[in-house]
Amino acid sequence: MRRLRDAAYMFAMTVTAPIWAWRMHRAGKLRTDWGARFGHGAALATPERRRILIHAVSVGEVNAIRQLVDRLANDHTKPDIVIA
Protein backbone atom coordinates (compact mmCIF):
# COMPACT_ATOMS: atom_id res chain seq x y z
CA MET A 1 0.00 0.00 0.00
CA ARG A 2 2.84 2.37 0.84
CA ARG A 3 4.51 1.82 -2.53
CA LEU A 4 1.24 2.46 -4.33
CA ARG A 5 0.80 5.74 -2.47
CA ASP A 6 4.41 6.76 -3.19
CA ALA A 7 3.94 5.94 -6.87
CA ALA A 8 0.73 8.00 -6.98
CA TYR A 9 2.51 10.99 -5.42
CA MET A 10 5.43 10.65 -7.83
CA PHE A 11 3.05 10.49 -10.78
CA ALA A 12 1.10 13.54 -9.54
CA MET A 13 4.27 15.58 -9.04
CA THR A 14 5.63 14.60 -12.43
CA VAL A 15 2.39 15.58 -14.15
CA THR A 16 1.84 18.85 -12.26
CA ALA A 17 5.44 20.15 -12.16
CA PRO A 18 5.25 21.82 -15.60
CA ILE A 19 1.99 23.50 -14.60
CA TRP A 20 3.55 24.93 -11.43
CA ALA A 21 6.64 26.08 -13.35
CA TRP A 22 4.46 27.80 -15.97
CA ARG A 23 2.44 29.57 -13.26
CA MET A 24 5.60 30.76 -11.52
CA HIS A 25 7.01 32.01 -14.81
CA ARG A 26 3.78 33.79 -15.70
CA ALA A 27 3.59 35.47 -12.27
CA GLY A 28 7.24 36.53 -12.50
CA LYS A 29 8.25 34.55 -9.42
CA LEU A 30 10.43 31.99 -11.13
CA ARG A 31 13.75 33.78 -10.67
CA THR A 32 13.02 36.29 -7.93
CA ASP A 33 14.36 36.35 -4.41
CA TRP A 34 16.45 33.18 -4.59
CA GLY A 35 18.95 34.67 -2.16
CA ALA A 36 16.31 35.15 0.52
CA ARG A 37 15.06 31.63 0.00
CA PHE A 38 18.51 30.34 0.91
CA GLY A 39 19.13 32.71 3.81
CA HIS A 40 21.05 35.49 2.06
CA GLY A 41 19.40 38.85 2.43
CA ALA A 42 20.11 42.49 3.04
CA ALA A 43 21.70 43.27 6.37
CA LEU A 44 19.46 44.82 8.97
CA ALA A 45 20.15 48.37 10.01
CA THR A 46 21.88 48.70 13.35
CA PRO A 47 19.35 50.11 15.77
CA GLU A 48 20.21 53.26 17.68
CA ARG A 49 18.30 51.92 20.66
CA ARG A 50 18.30 48.43 22.07
CA ARG A 51 15.63 46.16 20.68
CA ILE A 52 13.75 43.62 22.78
CA LEU A 53 11.85 40.75 21.17
CA ILE A 54 9.03 39.26 23.22
CA HIS A 55 7.49 36.11 21.80
CA ALA A 56 3.92 35.37 22.87
CA VAL A 57 1.84 32.68 21.21
CA SER A 58 -1.49 32.53 22.97
CA VAL A 59 -3.90 35.21 24.14
CA GLY A 60 -3.04 34.35 27.72
CA GLU A 61 0.66 34.94 27.07
CA VAL A 62 -0.07 38.28 25.42
CA ASN A 63 -2.17 39.32 28.41
CA ALA A 64 0.60 38.16 30.76
CA ILE A 65 3.25 40.38 29.16
CA ARG A 66 1.25 43.61 29.41
CA GLN A 67 2.90 44.72 32.66
CA LEU A 68 6.33 43.85 31.31
CA VAL A 69 5.74 45.90 28.17
CA ASP A 70 4.45 48.83 30.23
CA ARG A 71 7.54 48.74 32.45
CA LEU A 72 9.87 48.51 29.47
CA ALA A 73 8.07 51.35 27.69
CA ASN A 74 8.51 53.57 30.76
CA ASP A 75 12.20 52.70 31.05
CA HIS A 76 14.56 55.65 30.67
CA THR A 77 16.40 54.00 27.73
CA LYS A 78 13.18 53.66 25.67
CA PRO A 79 13.93 50.34 23.96
CA ASP A 80 12.25 49.23 20.75
CA ILE A 81 9.79 46.53 21.78
CA VAL A 82 8.83 43.90 19.22
CA ILE A 83 6.05 41.49 20.12
CA ALA A 84 5.86 38.42 17.93
User: What are 34-59's pLDDT values in tens digits?
Assistant: 777 787 777 776 778 888 899 999 99
**In the predicted structure, residue 17 carries a pLDDT above the cut 90:** yes
How far apart CA 82 and CA 65 sit, in angstroms, is 12
| Coil, helix or strand at residue 65 | coil
Q: Return the pLDDT at 68.
A: 92
Query: What average pLDDT does the segment 2-28 reach?
Result: 91
Q: What is the pTM assigned to this prediction?
A: 0.45
Mean pLDDT (the chain) is 86
